[in-house]
Structure 1
């Protein structure tokens, strides 16, 4: 009966909006009204008249948005009508299984964002995602009922390799191959969007997206991805050496990028000695870097969403030797420390752990352990804050996923919600306050338990204040970091929680955004002696940017410089003794 009531209301909205589109005129797009930018922030309407007014306002906003993208009024009406009809078509395909799924998940969501029921069809999709056996783009999707968004990227997958798609990006259109029509997918069922994105290995799919760091919804991008199967070797750790020059001295910084904490359990069970795991690969890469006599190591955990808890523990012991790395508390309140009583510290030189807001779970365990033991520095941004462990149980029909335990650092502090705070903050394109576990509905609260005794390496705590100052001086001189700061400041000063339902005002706002983005880009390019753009269109139609404009490389470079700062500071007492 609840769903039948919802269906009646849905048809009422559809009919009203279709009727409104048949009579809408341009004058309707020049009202003085506004709507909340985030629909969930709207207060519930108190009567049907207010609700119908909101339904019309939503259509006006859709029309304005389409006209801002270059459509005239007739084209915008046609596209909006088609979108509504597509949504109705998908709604009418709602199955009994779907209704049951919605109802049960409305209950499971009370227990947190990671507790959910999966119908047999969703269970099949979950198993496919876990085995990575289906050809696609290597991304997990989520939906808020209107937009399909990127939930996370599979490490080593086609989407991640483009370096263009990010978590929280909204997918608004999907096209096939080089010239296939972009299909509007706003309001589509998530499984139908997934079906549209999947395809044969080697084929192309084009995604039209609103980037998560876009200043407005009119700032869209089109990304081309070649479908492929994600294999375990695509997730493998990789190494490189960054040269850093300080005066007459040339330093070598080793970098190991680890996209996931992977472990080939099937090969291990078969007693295959050559089974792949992140700890084995990192140890091998460390041997190679040690032979090249690096001065220190940066472990890049950016966008590493986690993986095997035991791999995180094994990796930590390469740098710590022995001791507890993490505490796990189960639902009965029992606490167990995970670690090694005996161990050999495989790498003893200075280390920096580089993280961002998408470093989660096992990444937070490794970063937290290195920080708590005072073995190395954590730099970047605060991490995601996922400090819980889920279990999947089979039901008579479908599966249920629920939280069964919680992570705690050796200090006793949970990583839940807070994540790991870096010793040194570095700039980021994203508004991190809107991301992470703490932004999810009903996420478990942060708490603490008694800490456990660990060895204090005393490697970095005495140098943190001066390291922060040295890093801040470089950050304030970096053209790329200056550009990020200017963009964030402009966005903050011009941020509004409302959208004008007035086409002229929205055009004015769009022009203002484009003027700023062009000026900011040209200021950056001018400071780097790169060609500038005459117009915003030239800027949007540009080819691939040169490496000097790669913000991710700039962040990695600053992490390497912080490491060398630490190396030099630790040498100062010895240098002073030699001078005497």
Structure 2
């Protein structure tokens, strides 16, 4: 009763504050459903009993949830005032009760105030466009406010937003836009912000609150609503049932950005990039639902469906005006393979002293596996290891001299895939060790005899390489099987399992969603763990990543680093005598490589800007800085193999504000730009090949060949 009374009073507070604010618009208040309250309680029951490190749901944890929830809503502290946070703090120790008593009114009340504050700030931002700005004033805009205090007054918050809008305006002005064009662009941008804000749903609030709760237990325990569960399954299967069109939200239209080769959308010959979907119908004769102004995910949900079923799209062609004639296109949904996210191969040729080495590169974005297909006995189930195996066979036919596995920004995936992928490069043996909540240690091993690739090997990692990527890289390093190149990896040393809450309570239909819950900690076969420390490369490459504010160590509550006994394993080789020579060659080469030097200059400049955390709002100063930058880029074009391009200059626009063709052009240029770090990693492997065969390679070559089934 006390909670309900406080919520009632707080609801009145929101209404009064909204009326007193300078907002010209209010948003509908969102409320929890009974189903969400039940899902929260059920999740708490599971987490407090079966998590690797169970945390009691009490006032202490409630306080942590409160802080995490506020941070998830307003990490940059540009919406809430200090007085808002003080008022909300009344509920600091009540969130545990909200979950256990199945009354989520409080987290929804918090969100409703947040949503109204967005309206307040954006409405104020739009009002500034009528006044314009004086760009002769010497003042600066703070790029990030995460570590700053909350604004103590409305005037202080208004000044934060004044500078924010002024910076938006100045960026467009420096890109050559006139005042009228700038006002039109920014007014439309802020109007779209308000429209997006009005599209928040009850499920969004619940998802945000539940992740604030789960991530206070550990950073990798998450709640998945039904839609998030579907998306997670798609990311693991690398397939979905649909029409094969990549869509984006653009000016309130669901717009076709790309047609997947071989998909129903592409094969129909009736759709083009830039076409706008304004309606969706189910079945050849079904009523068409108007989706203008809908959220992208809601439109996508209508377009997806059962395999071989028919969906009808109401299309406004790309070249047609808004009042032009539409066309109805019927498509039969099919299974679409997301090949862009699958493993791929390429070959880099490295020539040194007249000798050319071929380095086979396998890029693996995620450790995917179609769990359901595998459980159902489908022998052709989608698998990262299966795909890499095929690519290795192709590279062997191409007679490559070495293989480089590119795991940059590979955030992990299937644990089984990490183990099996390691088995392609080693003789049978342990790959990692797992310790469960009871302290019991299990050794996970590759049981297949022999290696599919027994030649020289390198692994390229960065700060975005996490979990399964770290298991694989660590095993290769511990066995002395290959050279690890790049940055220190993420530092995630925990194992998660997905718990289907509906299966737990035997629901016939999806209702409560899923929990991705930490159930164990994994350890390297040498007894250490990648937790917090990640995998340290044998050869380091320059990094643009701020290591202090990224990776596992940047979280508030990571599990600590620890160590257990080493597993019993036989080394595949010893690279210790090789690494110093490779490092020396690497350092000598990059000291003469102009592109590498330019990269290091850019990284230094970027980090200096981050450290300064301020950007001038004086037009003359910004133009001077831009001129210096332009001159530096122009001078590079004379000596660099990677010429700069005007398409990569700051145009002051956000992604959905550009002409779609221009946006795709920029994306193509960035995709095709020279990958300096990848090329240097290939150079390192070429150096290894040239060294006398008295190291790991000799031992590796003695491994028996693997027989694939």
TM-score > 0.5, shorter chain as reference: yes
From 629, 632, 635, the counterpart of 1:519: 635
Residues 378 and 518 (structure 1 numbering): CA distance in 2 closer, same or farther, change over 3 Å? same
CA pair 327-178 structure 1, distance change in 2 beyond 3 A: same
Higher Cα Rg, which structure: 2
**Are 2:579 and 1:464 equivalent residues in the alignment?**
yes
Structure 1 residues 300 and 123: alpha-carbon distance in aligned structure 2, compared to 1, 3 A threshold? closer
- How many residues are paired up? 507
Residue aligning to 1:399: 514
Tell me by how many angstroms 1:192 deviates: 3.3
Change (3 A) 1:112 1:139: farther
Which of residues 37, 45, 50 in structure 1 aligns to 2:156?
A: 50
Which of 678, 683, 704 is 1:558 aligned to?
683
Residue 251 of structure 1: CA displacement?
A: 4.5
Instruction: Write the distance in 2 (CA, Å) between the matches of 1:550 and 1:204.
Output: 39
Contact 1:514 1:536 in 2 (8 A): no
In 2: Cα distance, 1:129 partner to 1:256 partner: 19
Structure 1 residues 474, 196: closer, same or farther in 2, change over 3 A? farther
SS across alignment from 2:520: strand
- How far did 1:234 drift? 5.4
Residue 377 of structure 1 is matched in structure 2 by 483
Q: Secondary structure at the match of 1:469?
A: helix
1:417 aligned to 532, 546, 554, which one?
A: 532
Structure 2 residue 423 is the aligned partner of structure 1 residue 317: yes
| Contact 1:328 1:406 survives alignment (8 Å) | yes
Q: 1:240 Cα shift?
A: 5.3
CA shift, 1:284, in A, is 4.7
| Correspondent of 1:361 among 453, 462, 467 | 467
Is residue 598 of structure 2 the alignment partner of residue 483 of structure 1?
yes
* Distance change >3 Å, CA 129–CA 70, structure 1 → 2: farther
Deviation at 1:424, TM superposition (A): 1.0
Instruction: Measure, in 2, the Cα distance between the counterparts of 1:46 and 1:551.
Output: 46
Q: Residue by residue, what CA displacement relative to the aligned partner does 1:58-105 show, whole Å, maximum 9, x if unpaired?
A: 332332233233333333333333333333333334444443443333
* Cα distance change on mapping 1:342 and 1:97 into 2, 3 Å: closer
Q: Are residues 1:177 and 2:273 paired?
A: yes
- Listed as ranges, the gaps of 5+ residues in structure 2 are 1-9, 11-108, 250-258, 262-271, 277-293, 305-314, 319-333, 502-510, 652-661, 699-709
The 2-side partners of 1:7 and 1:99 are apart by: 10
Q: What is the CA deviation profile of residues 249-306 of structure 1, one whole-angstrom value per residue up to 9, with x for unaligned ones? A: 5555444444443444444445444445343444455455556665443333334333
The alpha-carbon distance between structure 1 residues 235 and 546, as it changes in their structure 2 partners (threshold 3 A), is: closer
List per-residue Cα deviations over 1:447-466 (Å, max 9, x = no partner): 33333232233431122112
Structure 1: how far apart are the matches of 2:244 and 2:187? 30
1:326 to 2:429 alignment:
no
Which sections of structure 1, spanning at least 5 residues, go unmatched?
A: 142-156, 160-175, 181-190, 207-227, 574-580
Does the CA-based 8 Å contact 1:253-1:298 persist in structure 2?
A: yes
C-alpha distance in 2 between matches for 1:312 and 1:471: 29
Q: Please state whether the residue corresponding to 1:523 is helix, strand or coil.
A: coil
Q: Corresponding residue for 2:172? A: 66
Q: TM-score, normalised by structure 2?
A: 0.60
SS of structure 1 residue aligned to 2:185: helix
Instruction: Determine the C-alpha separation between the residues in 2 that align with 1:273 and 1:37.
Output: 52
Give deviations 1:409-450, integer Å, cap 9, x for gaps: 112222233221111123456666654344455444433333
The question of 1:111 aligning with 2:217 is answered yes
For residue 346 of structure 1, report the CA deviation from its aligned partner.
Answer: 4.5
Match of 1:26 in 2: 133
Moved more, 371-380 or 498-507: 498-507
Give the equivalent residue in structure 1 for 2:404: 298
Q: Compared with structure 1, are the counterparts of its residues 411 and 90 closer, same or farther at alpha carbon in structure 2 (3 Å cutoff)?
A: same
Query: Which residue is 1:13 aligned to?
Result: 121
Counterpart of 2:626 in structure 1 is 510
Q: TM-score normalised to the size of structure 1?
A: 0.72
- More deviation, 47-56/430-439: 430-439
* 1:189-219 alpha-carbon deviations (Å, 9 max, x no partner): xx93656899989x9999xxxxxxxxxxxxx
Q: What is the aligned partner in structure 2 of residue 168 from structure 1?
A: none
CA distance in 2, matches of 1:450, 1:204: 64
Distance 1:492 1:199, change over 3 A: farther
Structure 2 CA distance, aligned partners of 1:11 and 1:471?
A: 53
1:356/1:481 Cα in 2 relative to 1: closer, same or farther (>3 Å)?
Answer: same
- Higher mean C-alpha deviation, range 537-546 or range 355-364: 537-546
Residue 581 of structure 2 aligns to a residue whose secondary structure is helix
1:453 equivalent in alignment to 2:568: yes
CA spacing shift, 1:83–1:535, aligned 2, 3 Å: closer
1:491-545 deviation digits (Å, cap 9, x = unpaired): 44565311233333333333333333333344314xx8x8x98999899999959
Residue number among 179, 187, 192 corresponding to 2:295 in the alignment: 192
Q: How far, CA to CA, are the matches of 2:561 and 2:230 in structure 1?
A: 33
Q: Shift of residue 326 of structure 1?
A: 0.6
